[in-house]
Structure 1
Amino acid sequence: MDSASHVASLAQVIQLAVAPVFLLAGVAATLNVLASRIGRIIDRARLMEERLETAGPELAAELHARLRVLSRRATLINRAIALCVLCSLLVSLVVAALFVSSSLRVDLATPIAVAFVVALLSLAAALLFFLREVFIATASTTFGGARKEKEVIK
């Protein structure tokens, strides 16, 4: 293969890699949101744990209940983060495999497709965990002193 056709082939691979790279940017933004949420959850949990030291029995029971909700929310966000990271790793692998496939003239179409589909499924699962956490956060929020208690918290 002459150098002109090799450059053209490389240019085509770069064009194919653009969409996954944009996906990586979107997942990075999602990870930023998730990291912010887990930070706020941890801060609230620490504050409640400090208040627990001097709380009476009634307040202590309320704080324990809220800490259980925060623990559940943290678990969901951690799962979402793990799945977003998996998605990012798989998309990075897809981009690398595109270049390897083109450079070495090896047919990696099936592994590339499988990795990309698994990446998208990981992202979808991460978004579902995130949505669940948002529902729990909303259900456990006090609006004007009236608490919305629902089974969604459990």
Structure 2
Amino acid sequence: MDQLPPLATIAQAIQLSLSPIFMLAGIGSLLNVLAGRLSRVVDRARAVEALHPASQGPEHDRHVWELRLLDRRMTVINRALVFAVSSAVMVCIVVALLFFAKLVRLHIGTSVAIAFILAMALLIASLISFLVEVRMSLYAIHIRPELLEREKK
């Protein structure tokens, strides 16, 4: 009959998995921010879509420009979400591998390290996508020069 792992072994596995769990909590916060931004972009797109049919001339052109920018922002946020979720999944795999390796005394340190590096790379990709989307939103919010001109006397 196989012997169950001692309590100390399980305690060590839990200690090993704490750092990745904190990383998972941070990724969860990032996902919350990204989902909120996506929701706001979708709401803005719906509002501009409602204005689009009734607009003409320069106003129509601005609506088309904004809709194109909002569409690109949705794509970038979605990419950031995919990277963040993929990173979270890899962190979960790291934790599972740590426990599994510790409990059955496997020497899979290289596999765990590769999974953690992949999790970090996906998180970096998500953060870069987030930064790109923030820059795009700042580009969209610039006040048009014609609105900043003083009234002519």
Same fold (TM over 0.5): yes
Identical positions, percent: 37
Describe the superposition over 1:64-95 as per-residue Cα deviations: whole angstroms up to 9, x where unpaired: 10011111111111110000000000000010
* Counterpart code for 2:95: V
Alignment RMSD: 1.7
The Cα shift of 1:58 comes to: 2.5
SS at match of 1:140: helix
Partner of 2:8: 8
| 2:108 corresponds to | 108
- The residue aligned with 1:90 is 90
Structure 1 counterpart SS, 2:13: helix
- 2: CA distance, partners of 1:141 / 1:14: 47
1:93-120 superposed Cα distances (whole Å, 9 cap, x missing partner):
0101111111111112111110000000
1:123 paired residue number: 123
Partner in structure 1 of residue 20 of structure 2: 20
The match for 2:61 is 61
Aligned ranges 1:132-147 → 2 under 5 Å: 132-143=132-143, 146=145
Runs of 4+ aligned residues of structure 1 deviating over 2 Å after TM superposition are: none
Structure 2 matches for 1:66-85, cutoff 5 A? 66-85=66-85
Q: TM-score scaled to structure 2, two decimals?
A: 0.89
2:76 is paired with a residue of what secondary structure? helix
Q: What is the TM-score of this pair, normalised by structure 1?
A: 0.88
C-alpha displacement of 1:61: 1.2
Query: Which piece of structure 1 moves more, 118-127 or 58-67?
Result: 58-67
Distance 1:141 1:100 in 2: 50
User: Which stretches in structure 2 are left out of the alignment for 5+ residues?
Assistant: 147-153
Letter in 1 for 2:51: R
Distance 1:54 1:67 in 2: 15
Q: Higher relative contact order at CA 8 Å, sep ≥6: structure 1 or structure 2?
A: 2
SS at match of 2:6: helix
Structure 1 gaps of 5+ residues are 148-154
